Structure 1
């Protein structure tokens, strides 16, 4: 199974810039070994189970919780039976089609 989960999580009570807190979550993801990709509006991860994906989100929350009185989170999930590797494959498929159109 492949579970793609995109999430944004940040404290709402720390002012206009929250990169100090978001970087704590990204550091956790990097050390955890989960496949992830940071983007300007959140972070995408890919896991083999829904349980693992949701555990990552919960662990990220637990990292931020001691530092904030309020934490905002959005989550989008695409779960599909089949092998992992879709995070890269989906982008590659679109880029291949764009390349064909541009020629």
Structure 2
């Protein structure tokens, strides 16, 4: 399982609100083979293989251009663990268990 944190930022938009562009990126992710979880500062992605993950990132990036942005900055942080399958939920539960 490979996971990533994705942040796609349109630059030079006419308004300070970015939700229109975030919605376009999320709608594009609905067409991919990745699981995702939107949060206040980005989106967590989860895929079975790197190719699906990178394709989803590209699709989300391009969707922001299609939504009208002329410049887009995309940041990606990747966690590719190959010794065992861990989901986003598993990772959070592991930390929460240690806090008990």
CA distance in 1, matches of 2:71, 2:63: 13
**TM-score (structure 1 length as normaliser):** 0.84
Structure 2 segments unaligned to the other structure (5+ residues): none
- Whether contact under 8 Å (1:25, 1:63) holds in the other structure is yes
Q: How far off is 1:58 after superposition?
A: 0.5
CA distance in 2, matches of 1:90, 1:47: 15
**Between Structure 1 and Structure 2, which shows a larger proportion of helix residues?**
1
Tell me the equivalent position of 1:21: 21
- Whether contact under 8 Å (1:35, 1:46) holds in the other structure is yes
Structure 1 segments unaligned to the other structure (5+ residues): none
Larger radius of gyration: 1
Residues matched between the structures, number: 98
CA distance in 1, matches of 2:31, 2:51: 19
**TM-score (structure 2 length as normaliser):** 0.86
